[in-house]
Amino acid sequence: MLKQGLHHKLLQKLSPQQIQLMKLIQLPTQAFEERLKQEIEENPALDTGKEEPESFEDTLSNDSEYDDTGNEKIETDDINIDEYLSDDEFPSYKTQANNYSSDDDEKQVPYAAGTTFHQSLKNQLNTFRIDDEERAIAEFLVGSIDDSGYIRRDIIDLVDDLAFTQNVFTTEEKVTTVLKTVVQRLDPIGVGALDLKECLIIQLKSKPEKKSTSLAINILENAFDHFVKKHYKKLLEKFDIDEEQLKEVITEISKLNPKPGSSYAGNNKIAEQIVPDFSIRIIDGNLELTLNSRNAPELHVSREYNNMLKGYSKSKEKSKAQKDAVLFIKQKLDAAKWFIDAIKQRQQTLLVTMNAIMHRQEEYFLTGDERKLKPMILKDIADEIQMDVSTVSRVANSKYVSTPYGTKLIKDFFSESMKNDQGEDVSTREIKKILETVINEEEKRKPLTDEKLSKLLKEKGYPIARRTVAKYREQLDIPVARLRKEI
């Protein structure tokens, strides 16, 4: 049975302007500059430069005869963002970076165009005397090589693909022959291998023949697993050699390139150049924070559009076309004002957030010692600057800061805390740094196990369990003790 009733609900919804503001905050510098260019192109009411425009609010107040649909008598504040965007505490000069002179040389790394890795391999095929079928197979094999230089598919699958996609009907033996005699002879040496073992052997066979090289090939061909797992005692017994000979083999193999494709000088990948969003410098022992807005133009509302709106507003009798023009101009001017205020709010938010992070991690920024990093989570900064955790997360996850010690991702300064033996909170980053130092200083003939590492850290005042040591070691991309062993 249907019933009617009244219900009261309290809902919180973000306005479209607030959502756009959050998106602007999340954008890193390069993406933000692209967003600025896009907005300038789409909204003719936005002008760039340092000219101070007339009062936008006064202009709108003069035109009070028409609403957004062209009807008489409207409210002009259709986009009122002042309720949640307020920059009273931050004057505009604090959100601009005008500390660059016209003589400054902005140095950037040039990226020259060149031949791609796969195109280079195809060009090398012209140096071989092969028939049309072999060339088609060789070109297909080159196209199957990944960026590391490997063919990671079974030969039978390649044969099937040649038949279906290239209309080349051949056999596994023919494909293998072309692979061995043509593709695997291309430069850089080692490309076209089916696995790491074959890649290393190909490189060794290309070297001048000597005793250590022949022994290295023999070990890789007949005891590859023992070598990879560093079972050195088994290798000494199996090949009846001494430690000095094994050292020569290890040295010989360590000079090889396990990823020959990635070493190609002309490998044209899209270069991702990091542009820092902030810069921290040490001046007279104090930290100075600046926001990177060098390439962001200063925006203001177009004087021309203001004058156009004034002109239309003075006309007593307006046609339908004039009413549509008034509506269009008002919408563009409103959007321009909102966008300018949103940029100021973005810059204010970024500066306030990064300033809090900088002062929280002041010891690190002054010394560069990661062991000086204090435990810090998003909520700590959010509480300090009285903003939402999600806002701090947007700033931290996608922004970089240039420091005297290199360009760092801001989120890397955040870490959980653990208590040492004195009951003090220490950062997990500090523990990882100490763990890394201990492993680097260990005796490589007898590397420390996770259990021994745990005991050493406890002696240093960091009581953490063996499983935690293993977790931190894996996060640092450090192998287990057996794989760190050296002769």
Q: Determine the pLDDT at residue 482.
A: 80
pLDDT-wise least confident of 80-89, 92-101, 152-161, 339-348: 80-89
Higher pLDDT, 425 or 114: 425
Please check the confidence at residue 97 and state whether its pLDDT lies above 50. no
Give the pLDDT band (50/70/90) at residue 49: low
Query: pLDDT tens digits, residue range 183-202?
Result: 999 988 999 999 999 999 99
What SS3 state is found at 476?
A: coil
At 304 the pLDDT is 75
pTM: 0.55
Distance CA 337, CA 222 (A): 74
Burial tier of 179 (Cβ tally within 10 Å: 0-12, 13-18, 19+): buried
| Rounded Cα gap, residues 24 and 7, in angstroms | 37
pLDDT at 106 over 50: no
Give me the residues paired with residue 402 across strands.
Answer: 279, 407
Q: What is residue 93's predicted lDDT score, i.e. its pLDDT?
A: 40
DSSP, collapsed to helix, strand or coil, labels residue 479 as coil
Residue 85 vs residue 473, higher pLDDT: 473
Counts of helices then strands in the chain (DSSP H, E): 20, 8
Instruction: Indicate the pLDDT class of residue 312, thresholds 50, 70 and 90.
Output: low
For residue 88, the Cα-to-chain-centroid distance in whole angstroms is 34
Of the listed ranges 187-196, 314-323, 458-467, the one predicted with least confidence? 314-323
**Mean pLDDT across 14-22:** 68
Q: How confident is the model at residue 434 (pLDDT cuts 50, 70, 90)?
A: confident
Q: Give me the pLDDT at residue 296, please.
A: 63
- Per-residue pLDDT, averaged over 9-18, amounts to 62
**Residue-range domain boundaries for the chain:** 117-264, 278-413, 417-483
Q: Flag whether pLDDT at 13 surpasses 60.
A: no
- In angstroms, the CA 115 to CA 321 distance is 56
Q: Which residue has the tokens 């022992």?
A: 285
Contact status, residue 469 vs residue 454, Cβ threshold 8 Å: yes
For residues 104 and 366, the model is more confident at: 366
Whole-number pLDDT of residue 38: 84
Maximum C-alpha span of the chain:
106
In sequence order, the β-bridge partners of residue 424 are none
Measured CA to CA in angstroms, residue 160 lies from 177, 180, 194, 195, 303 at distances of 16, 19, 17, 20, 68
Write out the H or E segment, with its range, that includes residue 406.
strand 406-409
When the pLDDT of each residue in the chain is averaged and rounded to a whole number, the result is 78
Is the pLDDT higher at 51 or at 332?
A: 332
Q: Compute the average pLDDT of residues 159-176.
A: 90
Write down the CATH number for the domain with range 417-483: 1.10.10.60
- Residue 67 has a pLDDT of 47
* Residue-level pLDDT at 87: 39
Per the DSSP assignment, residues forming a β-bridge with 288 are 281
Give the model confidence (pLDDT) of 115-147 as tens digits. 788 888 899 998 888 898 999 999 999 999 998
Asked if residues 328 and 70 have their Cβ atoms less than 8 Å apart, the reply is no
- Residue 317: pLDDT band (50, 70, 90) is low
pLDDT band of 91, cuts 50, 70, 90? very low
pLDDT band with cut points at 50, 70 and 90 for residue 438 = confident
List pLDDT tens digits, range 53-75.
444 444 444 444 444 444 444 34
Q: Residue 391: what pLDDT?
A: 87
Query: CB within 8 A of 469, min separation 6: which ones?
Result: 435, 450, 453, 454, 457
In percent, how much of the chain has pLDDT > 90?
Answer: 19
More confident residue, 325 or 479: 479
Where is 182: in which H helix or E strand?
none
* Residue 167 scores a pLDDT above 70: yes
Question: Distance between CA atoms of 105 and 348, rounded to whole angstroms?
Answer: 27
- Has residue 81 got a pLDDT over 60? no
Q: Which residue has the higher pLDDT, 467 or 108?
A: 467
- Which range of 283-287, 321-325, 372-376, 395-399 scores highest in mean pLDDT? It is 283-287
State the DSSP string of 258-279: S-GGGG-TT----------SEE
